[in-house]
Amino acid sequence: MKFSRVAQDITLKKLSLGYPGKVLMKDLDAVLPAGKISVILGGSGCGKSTLLRHILGLNTPVSGEIFLGDTNLTDLDSGEEYKQIRTRMGVLFQDGAMLGSLTLGENVALPMQEHTELPDSIIEEVVQMKLRMVGLGDFMHYFPNQLSGGMRKRAGLARAMVMDPTTLLCDEPSSGLDPITAADLDQLILKLKETFHVTTVVVTHDLDSLFNIADHVVVLHNGRCLYQGDVEGLQQSDDEYIIDFLERRPTEIDHSMERAVKFRSRV
Amino acid sequence: MNGLQVLAWMVSRLLGCLRLKPGNKKSFYRKRLLRDLASVGADSIPIVSVISACTGIILALQSAQQLEKVGAISYVANLVGVTIIRELGPLLTAIIVTGRSGAAFTAEIATMQISEEIDALEVMGIEPVRFLVLPKLIAMLIMVPCLTVWADFVGIFSGGAFSAIALGINEVTYFNNTVEFLKLHDVLAGLVKAGGFAVAITIIGCWQGFLAREGAADVGRKTTNSVVISIFMIILLDLFFTALNFLFR
């Protein structure tokens, strides 16, 4: 089977997902448009990263389907087909997930060495180019533990882009970073989308990132999709949770605190 | 996946690696193999040497005390040689390698598991078992028998040197007795044991690493499990191989 080299929509159809004994999300329908940045927004533990793992095929959905263009990803059970489609998907994990025993150059070269028959000299040139693209051209021979968190994530982006994917998936790219580094990373994601026209999915709960990069937003809460559409529509939403989220208004902790105070007064 | 499912998954993928075309050369697999060969083999030589030398001397001392009573002190050579080649050489080497390399395999894979590095390999379309386990298995299959031969040599040599210096046994008689009494079959039986131990240590070490789930504490737990299970399996395999050797002697 040949897979397209053009950016495609990711479509979630009646998708239910979770872990054995726990359904995190039920009957999720969403379209993440081609060539745009879709931000999946939601509180901690709402299943955003789990959704990303399902799109990547690391987890199997309880029910429902995930399409990349016309290809049903949930039907691809053979290793070879999935291998092919994975070369079209770049992934930036939450902490970069760079292999600690390899240098940045070796990390970025890994997918090319595995999936192409290119000579080492060409691979090295491509790797150098990709590292320069993320501003790490001088760090090719450094090990991941010699770099800051932000640099590791940029290196993760270089590795994600090394096979020129049509889809880029980022799991909480700004988590654990200072606001300036996070904004730099947002700009980099934006630049990658504009330059390479990749379908980008960013899982985050960072509102600054949302307003910096999102073309399309999907809001998840309590196992369902509260909103999908553009950022302007999100800001005009009258849903109570979305208003609380956008205004950074604490909810559950407030109630817990009230309960704790009541309990304390009784003691 | 539960523990046994992970083990079955790992072994089936490892067997799948056997179907790879031999021409499918990847420089990074060679690099990983060389790194594992060095860490399993070369880096273990000092500790294997010291422990084997001590064991050779201890055996010479213990046997001399008993054999002296029946006037057969020259048989120290036979006892040291047979015990080391057939039993203690492979066994002690395997236990040292379990503590050094088996534990390191578990800690490495477990850390990669909790820091999403294994997931990163999967999504890059790189088979984690082929990338992580296969080079370790090949390195262990080459290096554990080599270390065993080295441990045998050091143990017999140190036992001989000690017997010559402290017990007054003629060194030529000692080595003649050793060579005369030992058979190639004994050496091969020790090497077969070493190969079996190498497979067990690698499979158990890597399996426990893939089982890690719950953060840093789990890395420690799985590493402990790996060492304990490996030593238990080594003793069971030793019993099995020794019984087999006895039946087909």
Structure tokens at A118: 């290119």
Q: For the ranges A5-9, A71-75, B124-128, which has the lowest average pLDDT?
A: A5-9
B124 in a domain, yes or no?
yes
Mean pLDDT across the stretch A104-132?
Answer: 92
Domains of chain A, CATH where assigned: 1-88+167-262 (3.40.50.300), 98-164 (no CATH)
Distance between CA B145 and CA B58 in Å, rounded? 23
Q: For the ranges A72-86, B17-31, B40-54, which has the lowest average pLDDT?
A: B17-31
ipTM of the modeled complex: 0.82
Question: Which of A110, A159, A171, A203 is the best residue to mutate to test the B interface, defined by the most B CB atoms within 10 Å of its own CB?
Answer: A110
- The whole domain housing B61 covers 26-247
B208 in a domain, yes or no?
yes
- B198 within 8 A of B141, measured Cβ to Cβ: yes
pLDDT in tens, B90-106: 999 999 999 999 999 99
Residue A205 pLDDT exceeds 90: no
B221 vs A263, higher pLDDT:
B221
Eight-class DSSP state of B83: I
Mean pLDDT across the stretch B41-52?
Answer: 96
Number of domains in chain B: 1
Q: What is the pLDDT of residue B163?
A: 92
B20 in a domain, yes or no?
no
- B226 within 8 A of B107, measured Cβ to Cβ: no
**In this prediction, what percent of chain B has a pLDDT beyond 70?**
97
Nearest to A97 among B115, B125, B126 (CB): B115
B11 in a domain, yes or no?
no
Q: What is the pLDDT of residue A267?
A: 63
Q: What is the pLDDT of residue B26?
A: 67
Distance between CA A218 and CA A203 in Å, rounded? 10
Q: What is the pLDDT of residue A261?
A: 75
pLDDT in tens, B168-188: 888 888 888 898 888 888 899
Mean pLDDT across the stretch B13-18?
Answer: 83
Nearest to A91 among B115, B117, B123 (CB): B123
pLDDT in tens, B126-145: 889 999 999 999 999 999 99
Question: Nearest C-alpha of chain A: how many angstroms from B1?
Answer: 10
Question: Nearest C-alpha of chain B: how many angstroms from A99?
Answer: 6
Nearest to B117 among A53, A84, A97 (CB): A97
B contact set with A (CB within 8 A): 26-28, 35, 108, 111-112, 115-117, 119-126
B5 in a domain, yes or no?
no
Residue B213 pLDDT exceeds 70: yes
A contact set with B (CB within 8 A): 53, 56-58, 82-84, 86-87, 89, 91, 93-95, 97-101, 106, 109-111, 113-115, 120, 159
Q: What is the pLDDT of residue A76?
A: 78
Mean pLDDT across the stretch B205-226?
Answer: 93
Chain B neighbors of A100, CB-CB under 8 A: 111-112, 115, 117
B155 in a domain, yes or no?
yes
List b or e across B219-235, with b for residues whose CB sees 16 or more CB atoms inside 10 angstroms.
Answer: bebbbebbbebbbebbe
